[in-house]
Chains A and B, each alone.
Chain A
Amino acid sequence: MHPIRKQRLFVVLFIVVGSSLAAFFIISALKQNLNLFYEPSRVANGEAPIDRQIRVGGMVAEGSLIRQTNSLAVNFIITDFAANVAVEYTGILPDMFAENAGTVVTGFLSESGTFFAEQVLAKHDENYMPPEVSAALDSAKQSATQLNN
């Protein structure tokens, strides 16, 4: 084969094989690491899977934050005012974490319905609200009003 043709063939082959391999790996890694967001109402409805990492967000219910006295374990309840999810977490809570404030937790839902959080995020300034939380509160409030009417 002509050297330039051969070279071009190699280049094309290399790019095709390389990019399809890369595409395969990218897609499989992406699939494993996508965390879908669930509102507390949907968790209560049993819509959330229990075997994979998910995110749940809402407001930290007033008076629900309980600390263990001998460790850093905390329990609190996330609510969208329509349903509650009990959360257990061990570690340091972010600076802005508080009752009556928005939060998003990442972790796993257990069979018993308790959510074991691996990461807790809180709004980082006065005006910040994770978009999903606002949407969750929004739809929960709407359905609550519909029920009342």
Chain B
Amino acid sequence: MSSRFKLFIPLIIFTVIAAVFFRLESRIVSGEYDPSLLPSALIGHPVPEFSLASLSTNRQLTSSDLPKQAYIINVWASWCISCRVEHSYLNALSQKGIKIIGLNYKDRPVDALQWLERLGNPYLFNLSDINGQLGLDLGVYGAPENYIVGADGIIRYRHVGILDDKVWRDKIAPLGLLW
């Protein structure tokens, strides 16, 4: 073995390790492997059946009340500070005519209504999911979370965390839905 060759050994070992990382990281980027989040088992499936009270009226809402065009289900709560950050963007979206359904998750209706009064109401309507039943069916792990649903009622994408312009541009716009 030539002496110079020995000096290449660290480089070779490093290249192998780097290849492993690249493979892992690219699998994460492609969404194939995600070490920290639950990729909702419902992507590609219809929104589960539900029957929940409306937040603002006493009406009972069911799946048949959902819009017949593309919409967003936004999981939020008044105890969730990140939701406050997200809220202004939701207001802007609804101004543009995008339909947003609120899923008020494990919250007190009084607090939630106060919040809407103070910060504006971007929602078409709000489902009051006090004990997190629909949240469980959807596979919600916290707030905020956003489910993008096509006109056919099929969940296309799930975004955990704050919805903002970047997410919209990079993840949601490419879905090519009719809003």
Contact = CB atoms under 8 A, between A and B. Distances in A.
Are chains A and B touching in the complex at the 8 Å CB cutoff? yes
Nearest to B33: A131
A28 B38 CA distance: 34
B34 interface: yes
A100 interface: yes
Given A131-B34, A134-B37, A134-B38, 10 more contacts: A102-B38, A123-B141, A127-B36, A127-B141, A128-B141, A129-B36, A137-B38, A137-B139, A138-B41, A145-B45
Interface string A65-106: 000000000000000000000000000000000001010000
Interface of A: 100, 102, 123, 125-129, 131, 133-134, 137-138, 141-142, 145
A129 B140 CA distance: 11
Contact of B141 (A126, A138, A141, A145): A126
Interface string B36-67: 11110100010000000000000000000000
Contact of B142 (A102, A126, A134): A126
Given A127-B161, A131-B33, A145-B45, A138 B39 contact: yes
For chain B, the bracket of interface size reads 10 to 19
Contacts of A127: 36-37, 141-142, 160-161
B25 to A, nearest CB: 14
A141 B41 CA distance: 7
B35 interface: yes
A17 B52 CA distance: 70
